[in-house]
A and B are shown apart, each in its own frame.
Chain A
Amino acid sequence: METLHLSSIFFSLELIFHLAEILNLDHSQTSHMVPKLQEWIQYYFNESSDLADSVIKSRDDKSPVECNPDFWPAVTGLIMTAQCKEARRLLGLHSKKETPAIRTLRQLLHSKPELQSSGGASVAINFSVQWEAWLKEVRNQLISGVFSTNQHCLELAELLAGDNKAEKLVYENSETWYKFLVTYVSYWKPTVESFRLGEIARKSMERFGMDSQMKAVDKILLALFESDLYQVIESLQEFAESGWASLHMTDLLYHAGLLSNVVGQDNKIAENLRTDLIIQFGTLLAANDCVWRTGLSYLDFAGSQGVGHINLILQSRGPKSAKDAEILLYEAGKRNLVKAERTICSVVSRQYLMEKRLGSALMWAIKGENHSLASSVAELVLREMAVNDEYSISDVLPDLGTSIISSGHLVFLVKYNEYLTKYHDGNRKEAVNILIDLITSGLAPPYFIPVLLKKSAQAAKEAVKEFNSTDLSNILGVLEELVVTAHINGTKDANSAVACLEGSEREIREVLAQSICQAEIAELAKM
């Protein structure tokens, strides 16, 4: 049922927009309304053609085609919607097509002049002359009584003649007042100008008793015929609640230069109206999880206010996954919204931090150029590494790029990771050099020194060749300093660096001492 409802709304909107196009957008001094209106009705209400088709299909040899109860309604319908060729063809299937009534009718249908939709005043004059001549012919035939043998033909001839008696026929065969209107202008006023249509529309509506039962569509169509564009926009807003229809109508009118007429010749107000409608619709879409990106593309057309809204929307959509975040960043990047990009990255980083996914948190903090956050996360990583040997975020680190310079913690982290990678890959010499740098440079945070000392001892055991004695002495010096400082301060702090070293201190001393000896011997041997 929902689909049925929606498709009927869509149908109505098509009807409305097409009529708006005919009456307003496609309009020039030289164009004539009636052919276009005929086309309009034919396009949307082609029941008559369908009926005619079904009559033709159901033909068989047993009974004449005119016995089909749909035959005459089909012919009538075709004539009313100005499809005279088809009507003539259908009549040609009549078993008694040679009788004077039907033959004459067919002849009249054949000779009916057609007005082209463009061509200007000269074409209109030509047509008028032809039309008058043809009308005269129709009336003569009527007077001559040739149609008296066939009631249907009589009625149809009266319609062609624009005789008031035919008005009842038209009324009975029109489902809606606008079908009535099109038939009326086709046969009574074929050269009608657009500004008279309003009056005719009102009369048609009255004929159908629509005053008391006007539906939204009727209201809008009437407003279009009366060229009351303001009413059109207002009614569209009520009719199709989401605002899509009124927005696009306003936009079309704006681009056609007609919108300022609607709001009292004020261009500024016209622009405001359009912008306001765009923002309303855009923000409505942006609130929906499925179509929010479409909302953004609407807002792109709303000037600086639109940009502000987009900024806000991008920053307040809480991304629920990295993929969400990437989409948000893409949208922000497309529009050069640097602040929004930064905020999004920071928010994602915070979310990862909450989930204790430090590597991802770090990556996003750097991406968002949030130096303080990145530094804090780097520190958390280092603290984690200090207590947990296995902890590693090496999959994240290679992508960090040049922004690491912003933070001491980050620099240290990257260097340390470099050391680990090189050592692991067998590039001992370089690894050891980095390690020595790390220990002796003073960059290392106090809680991390035990880790470095342990690594040094391990490296010294496995690759003493790569060290020289001075470096080893320096490393031992660092250890000494650590222990002495702790003694001076007292061992109050259970988490202090010395406490972490506990147990391994003796072993590290031994290893370092042995390595210093070996290194010195090696150096002496070289001399």
Chain B
Amino acid sequence: MWPLTIMARGWPHALVTNKSRLVWDLDLHGSWHCTSSWKAHSGSVWKVTWAHPEFGQVLATCSFDRTAAVWEEIPAGDGPGETARSHWIRRTNMVDSRTSVTDVKFAPRQLGLQLATSSSDGVVRIYEAPDVMNLSTWTVQYEIQAKMPISCLTWNCSFSSKHLPLLAVGSDEVAAPQGTIAGGQTSNVVIGAAKVVLYEYSENSRRWAKAESLNAVTEPVHDITFAPNFGRSYHLLAIASRDVKLVILRPLEDSTETATGLTKFSVEIAARFEDHYSVVWRVSWNITGTILASSGDDNCVRLWKANYAGVWRCVEVLRDDTGSAHTSADSELPPISTGQSGGHSYVPLSAAAAVSGSQTLVGGATKYYKLGSIKNQNQVPWH
């Protein structure tokens, strides 16, 4: 299933299909226009991500062709009409990887202009652009050997200076069955290694080191994302694998005095949802980290929310009503959230702020309005 990736950053949204990229803008009247479309890589593009607007209009992409690229928007100039296409130029190509680059993410703004890429051979590279005005120069600052193929990565975004920079990576490696056990009997039990590992940056040793591996997650992981954290003492990690998992990571009190200078965490599975009854491909948080969206092979996007007592439950299900072929959708939700499934965009609005003239799809506490179909997408099976 192609990940039709939507990453939201303020107004423009980016969509990636196959080899090309589309950037869509939402204008003042609430309609979508494709402002740009170009062939970005020579292989399938896996992911796209926006940098913080403080660095300008900047995108990064990663691809099966073993490269990652950083793009910057050049304004269109005085084009005719409002929908003059803006121009995106490639600022740099990162060719260090020997295998397909599976994920690319910018670091939180507090860390400056940094980018992490993950490859299917298990290497995570952290690049930095020392001069934020010059996007052509990126150097590899750190390399992390994860010793397993990595499918996804996520930075922890915390406004608190008490939290050290934290990265989580997930692997979609299929666990091999165990061989014989004591007594000569073959075991049919599949035992896998932990598929989610956390790395933390230690100021003392000036390097990234493994802080924790989540032994509870042993099936292949397809997506992973930290919830934006501000004001919380713990971190919240969402994992898309065979089901949707929510993990709470609490930094333990005396941890910074350990020799390694790394934080120790207590790991708690806060929730686990099998509602998709199929593989979950993508998970994504809204901008405040209070609503999680997940999409799976059942053609549905589900939204999850916790109540005041910390109990998580599904608050909305978006079903693809066109009966089109499977898609695995990625959605990132800004304050006005956007989710995507099967080529349609949904925008949740409160009943009080209703937009008229649209179809209501699913009722409930928030209503979702079909904004329109996005045409011309090539949906090619992943496997």
Interface size bracket, B side: 20 to 34
Partner of B350, one of A241, A304, A355: A241
Partner of A343, one of B56, B109, B335: B109
Shortest Cβ distance from residue B124 to the other chain A in the assembled complex, whole angstroms? 27
When C-beta atoms are compared, the residue in chain B nearest to A344 turns out to be: B54
Report B-chain residues with C-beta under 8 Å of the C-beta of A272. Answer: 308-309
Partner of B309, one of A269, A280, A309, A313: A269
**Interface segment out of the listed B177-185, B212-220, B224-232, B249-257:** B224-232
> Is the beta-carbon distance between B308 and A275 smaller than 8 angstroms?
yes
Q: Is B352 an interface residue (CB 8 A)?
A: yes
Report B-chain residues with C-beta under 8 Å of the C-beta of A373. Answer: 132-133
Report A-chain residues with C-beta under 8 Å of the C-beta of B11. Answer: 318
Q: Is A183 an interface residue (CB 8 A)?
A: no
Q: Is B373 an interface residue (CB 8 A)?
A: no
> Is the beta-carbon distance between B56 and A309 smaller than 8 angstroms?
no
Q: Which positions 331-347 of chain A face chain B at CB distance < 8 Å?
A: 339, 343, 346-347
Partner of A372, one of B132, B334, B350, B365: B132
Q: How far is the CA of A88 from the CA of B336 in the complex (A)?
A: 60
Report B-chain residues with C-beta under 8 Å of the C-beta of A350. Answer: 53-56
Shortest Cβ distance from residue A282 to the other chain B in the assembled complex, whole angstroms? 10
Q: Is B345 an interface residue (CB 8 A)?
A: no
Q: How far is the CA of A354 from the CA of B290 in the complex (A)?
A: 33
> Is the beta-carbon distance between A283 and B290 smaller than 8 angstroms?
yes
> Is the beta-carbon distance between B133 and A309 smaller than 8 angstroms?
no
Shortest Cβ distance from residue A368 to the other chain B in the assembled complex, whole angstroms? 9
> Is the beta-carbon distance between B54 and A309 smaller than 8 angstroms?
no
Q: Is A276 an interface residue (CB 8 A)?
A: yes
Number of A residues with CB within 8 Å of any CB on chain B = 40
Q: Is A49 an interface residue (CB 8 A)?
A: no
Q: Is A311 an interface residue (CB 8 A)?
A: yes
Report B-chain residues with C-beta under 8 Å of the C-beta of A242. Answer: 350-352
> Is the beta-carbon distance between B308 and A343 smaller than 8 angstroms?
no
Interface digits, B3-43 against A, CB 8 Å rule (1 contact, 0 not)? 00000001100000000000000000000000000000000
Q: Decide yes or no: A372 and B133 within 8 Å by CB, A273-B308, A312-B288, A350-B53 being known contacts.
A: yes
Shortest Cβ distance from residue B314 to the other chain A in the assembled complex, whole angstroms? 17
**Can you list 30 A-B pairs, Cβ within 8 angstroms, ordered by A?**
A237-B365, A241-B350, A241-B365, A242-B350, A269-B308, A272-B309, A273-B309, A275-B308, A283-B288, A283-B290, A288-B353, A303-B231, A308-B159, A308-B230, A308-B231, A309-B230, A311-B159, A311-B230, A312-B159, A313-B335, A318-B53, A343-B109, A347-B54, A350-B53, A350-B55, A354-B57, A372-B132, A372-B133, A373-B132, A376-B133
> Is the beta-carbon distance between A277 and B287 smaller than 8 angstroms?
no
Q: Is A316 an interface residue (CB 8 A)?
A: yes
Interface digits, A269-300 against B, CB 8 Å rule (1 contact, 0 not)? 10011011101100110111000000000000
Report B-chain residues with C-beta under 8 Å of the C-beta of A46. Answer: none
Q: Which positions 309-331 of chain A face chain B at CB distance < 8 Å?
A: 309, 311-313, 316, 318
Q: Is A474 an interface residue (CB 8 A)?
A: no
Q: Is A135 an interface residue (CB 8 A)?
A: no
Report A-chain residues with C-beta under 8 Å of the C-beta of B287. Answer: 312, 316
Q: Is B372 an interface residue (CB 8 A)?
A: no
Q: Is A482 an interface residue (CB 8 A)?
A: no
> Is the beta-carbon distance between B307 and A276 smaller than 8 angstroms?
yes
Q: How far is the CA of A70 from the CA of B57 in the complex (A)?
A: 73
Q: Decide yes or no: A318 and B10 within 8 Å by CB, A272-B308, A276-B308 being known contacts.
A: yes
Q: How far is the CA of A316 from the CA of B288 in the complex (A)?
A: 10
Q: How far is the CA of A108 from the CA of B10 in the complex (A)?
A: 73
Where the two chains meet, the residues of B that have a C-beta atom closer than 8 Å to any C-beta of A are 10-11, 53-57, 73, 75, 109, 131-133, 159, 228, 230-232, 287-288, 290, 307-309, 334-336, 350-353, 365-366
Interface digits, A405-449 against B, CB 8 Å rule (1 contact, 0 not)? 000000000000000000000000000000000000000000000
Shortest Cβ distance from residue B352 to the other chain A in the assembled complex, whole angstroms? 5
Report B-chain residues with C-beta under 8 Å of the C-beta of A347. Answer: 53-54
Point out which of B11, B75, B308, B350 has the most chain A C-beta atoms below 10 A from its C-beta. Answer: B308
Q: Is A353 an interface residue (CB 8 A)?
A: yes
Q: How far is the CA of A273 from the CA of B309 in the complex (A)?
A: 7
Q: Pick the 4 closest A-B CB pairs, nearest first.
A: A308-B230, A308-B231, A276-B308, A318-B10
When C-beta atoms are compared, the residue in chain A nearest to B334 turns out to be: A316
> Is the beta-carbon distance between A343 and B230 smaller than 8 angstroms?
no
Report A-chain residues with C-beta under 8 Å of the C-beta of B351. Answer: 241-242
Partner of A309, one of B10, B109, B231, B336: B231
When C-beta atoms are compared, the residue in chain A nearest to B58 turns out to be: A350
Report B-chain residues with C-beta under 8 Å of the C-beta of A210. Answer: none
Point out which of B73, B75, B159, B366 has the most chain A C-beta atoms below 10 A from its C-beta. Answer: B159
Report B-chain residues with C-beta under 8 Å of the C-beta of A276. Answer: 307-308
Report B-chain residues with C-beta under 8 Å of the C-beta of A316. Answer: 10, 287, 334-335
Report A-chain residues with C-beta under 8 Å of the C-beta of B109. Answer: 343
Shortest Cβ distance from residue B204 to the other chain A in the assembled complex, whole angstroms? 25
Partner of A287, one of B73, B230, B231, B335: B335
Q: Decide yes or no: A354 and B75 within 8 Å by CB, A284-B350, A308-B159, A308-B230 being known contacts.
A: yes
Q: Is A95 an interface residue (CB 8 A)?
A: no
Q: Decide yes or no: A279 and B350 within 8 Å by CB, A318-B10, A347-B53, A354-B56 being known contacts.
A: no
Partner of B54, one of A241, A304, A346: A346
> Is the beta-carbon distance between A353 and B308 smaller than 8 angstroms?
no
Report A-chain residues with C-beta under 8 Å of the C-beta of B55. Answer: 350
Q: Which positions 210-260 of chain A face chain B at CB distance < 8 Å?
A: 237, 241-242
When C-beta atoms are compared, the residue in chain B nearest to A370 turns out to be: B54
Shortest Cβ distance from residue A304 to the other chain B in the assembled complex, whole angstroms? 5
Shortest Cβ distance from residue B169 to the other chain A in the assembled complex, whole angstroms? 25
Shortest Cβ distance from residue A338 to the other chain B in the assembled complex, whole angstroms? 12
Q: Is A504 an interface residue (CB 8 A)?
A: no
When C-beta atoms are compared, the residue in chain B nearest to A313 turns out to be: B335
Q: Is A404 an interface residue (CB 8 A)?
A: no
Q: How far is the CA of A286 from the CA of B335 in the complex (A)?
A: 8
Point out which of A237, A316, A339, A343 has the most chain B C-beta atoms below 10 A from its C-beta. Answer: A316
Report A-chain residues with C-beta under 8 Å of the C-beta of B73. Answer: 354
Report A-chain residues with C-beta under 8 Å of the C-beta of B307. Answer: 276
When C-beta atoms are compared, the residue in chain A nearest to B228 turns out to be: A312
Shortest Cβ distance from residue B44 to the other chain A in the assembled complex, whole angstroms? 30
Shortest Cβ distance from residue A362 to the other chain B in the assembled complex, whole angstroms? 13
> Is the beta-carbon distance between B350 and A277 smaller than 8 angstroms?
no
Report A-chain residues with C-beta under 8 Å of the C-beta of B353. Answer: 288
When C-beta atoms are compared, the residue in chain A nearest to B134 turns out to be: A376
Shortest Cβ distance from residue B56 to the other chain A in the assembled complex, whole angstroms? 5
Report A-chain residues with C-beta under 8 Å of the C-beta of B350. Answer: 241-242, 284
Q: Is A99 an interface residue (CB 8 A)?
A: no
Q: A313-B335, A350-B54 provided; 15 other pairs, C-beta below 8 A? A: A242-B352, A272-B308, A273-B309, A283-B290, A287-B336, A303-B231, A304-B231, A305-B231, A308-B159, A308-B230, A309-B288, A312-B228, A312-B287, A316-B335, A350-B53
Report A-chain residues with C-beta under 8 Å of the C-beta of B334. Answer: 316
Q: Is A41 an interface residue (CB 8 A)?
A: no
Q: Decide yes or no: A283 and B335 within 8 Å by CB, A269-B308, A272-B308, A318-B11 being known contacts.
A: yes
Shortest Cβ distance from residue B308 to the other chain A in the assembled complex, whole angstroms? 4
Q: How far is the CA of A272 from the CA of B336 in the complex (A)?
A: 24
Shortest Cβ distance from residue A131 to the other chain B in the assembled complex, whole angstroms? 46
Q: Decide yes or no: A353 and B56 within 8 Å by CB, A269-B309, A272-B308, A309-B288 being known contacts.
A: yes
Q: How far is the CA of A313 from the CA of B55 in the complex (A)?
A: 18
Q: How far is the CA of A269 from the CA of B311 in the complex (A)?
A: 13
Q: How far is the CA of A339 from the CA of B56 in the complex (A)?
A: 18
Report A-chain residues with C-beta under 8 Å of the C-beta of B53. Answer: 318, 347, 350
Q: How far is the CA of A318 from the CA of B109 in the complex (A)?
A: 16
Shortest Cβ distance from residue B367 to the other chain A in the assembled complex, whole angstroms? 9
Q: How far is the CA of A27 from the CA of B159 in the complex (A)?
A: 45
Q: How far is the CA of A372 from the CA of B365 in the complex (A)?
A: 46
Report B-chain residues with C-beta under 8 Å of the C-beta of A353. Answer: 56
Q: How far is the CA of A303 from the CA of B352 in the complex (A)?
A: 26
Q: Which positions 52-73 of chain A face chain B at CB distance < 8 Å?
A: none
Point out which of B132, B336, B353 has the most chain A C-beta atoms below 10 A from its C-beta. Answer: B353
